[in-house]
C-alpha cells in the first residue's frame, strides 16, 4: 500500500496535530500512573538516524520537544536497536546510560524504564518513564503496564508519520500532489461520493504507477 493510499485509508490527512495531542496525553497519563518525575516519547527520524522528542510530560516538558540526538545514544538508543524493554534502577552503574546526553536535556535521571515502540516489523521510537517519586524500584508488573502505554504510543506515532507524509505529498507538485489534494476533498464528501471517488483515485494511481 502506498503512502497516499495509507493516508486516505487511515483518515489522517491534516490530522497531525490530533496525533501529537494523543502522544502528549499518553506521556502525561504514563507519568501520572507511575508517579514519575518525567515521561518522554521519542520518534525515530530515519532520514537523519536520530531520535526526536515528540512528547514530554514533567521535567523538560517546556523545552525538549523537537530536540534530537543520535539514535544509538543512551538507554533509549539501546531499547530502539535491540527492540527490548529495559528497567534500570541505578543509571550511574549502567554503561548504556549517556550522562552527556542527559545533561544536555537539563535533567539527569537516576532510574528509568524504556520500551521500544513497535508496529509490525518497524521500530518507530521509544517510550521512557523516569524516576518514581517514591524509593520503590520499577517492577516487572510496571514494565507490563508500560507495555500497554507503548502500544498506544506506537499507533499514535505511526499515524503521525502517515499524516506528515500525506502533508508532504499535498504540498508537492506533480501527479501525486494533485491526487492527494483530491483525496483531501474526498474526506469531506458524502459516503457515496467518497467511495466512488476513492475507487477512481485508486484507478488513477494504478495508471500512474504502471507508466513508471
C-alpha cell at 93: 552503574
pLDDT category of residue 57 using cuts at 50, 70 and 90: very high
Amino acid 129: pLDDT:
95
Q: Pick from 82-86, 136-140, 143-147, 203-207 the range whose average pLDDT is largest.
A: 82-86
What percent of the chain has a predicted confidence (pLDDT) above 90?
A: 42
CA 156 – CA 55 distance, rounded (Å) = 11
C-alpha cell at 92: 550511574
DSSP string, 131-195: EESSSPPP-HHHHHHHHHHHHHHHHHHHHHHHHHHHHHHHHS-HHHHHHHHHHHHHHTS-HHHHH
Chain segment 89-124, per-residue pLDDT in tens: 999 898 999 998 889 888 899 999 999 999 988 999
3-state secondary structure of 53: strand
CA angle 117, 97, 70 (to 5 degrees): 60
Amino acid at each position: 500500500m502506498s503512502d497516499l493510499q495509507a493516508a486516505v485509508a487511515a483518515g489522517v490527512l491534516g490530522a497531525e496535530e490530533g496525533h501529537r495531542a494523543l502522544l502528549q496525553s499518553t506521556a502525561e497519563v504514563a507519568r501520572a500512573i507511575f508517579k514519575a518525575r518525567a515521561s518522554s516519547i521519542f520518534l525515530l527520524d530515519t532520514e537523519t538516524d536520530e531520535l526526536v522528542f515528540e512528547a514530554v510530560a514533567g521535567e523538560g516538558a517546556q523545552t525538549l520537544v523537537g530536540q534530537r540526538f543520535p539514535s544509538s545514544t543512551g538507554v533509549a538508543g539501546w531499547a530502539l536497536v535491540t527492540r527490548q524493554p529495559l528497567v534500570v534502577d541505578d543509571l550511574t552503574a549502567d554503561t548504556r546510560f549517556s550522562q552527556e546526553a542527559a545533561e544536555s536535556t537539563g535533567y539527569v535521571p537516576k532510574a528509568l524504564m524504556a520500551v521500544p515502540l513497535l508496529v509490525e516489523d518497524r521500530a518507530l521510537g521509544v517510550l521512557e518513564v523516569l524516576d518514581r517519586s517514591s524509593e520503590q524500584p520499577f517492577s516487572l508488573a510496571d514494565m507490563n503496564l508500560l507495555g500497554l502505554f507503548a502500544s498506544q504510543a506506537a499507533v499514535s506515532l505511526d499515524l503521525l508519520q502517515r499524516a506528515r507524509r500525506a502533508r508532504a505529498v499535498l504540498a508537492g507538485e506533480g501527479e501525486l500532489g494533485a491526487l492527494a489534494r483530491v483525496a483531501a476533498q474526498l474526506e469531506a464528501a458524502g459516503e457515496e461520493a467518497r467511495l466512488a471517488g476513492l475507487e477512481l483515485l485508486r484507478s488513477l494511481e494504478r495508471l500512474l504507477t504502471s507508466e513508471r
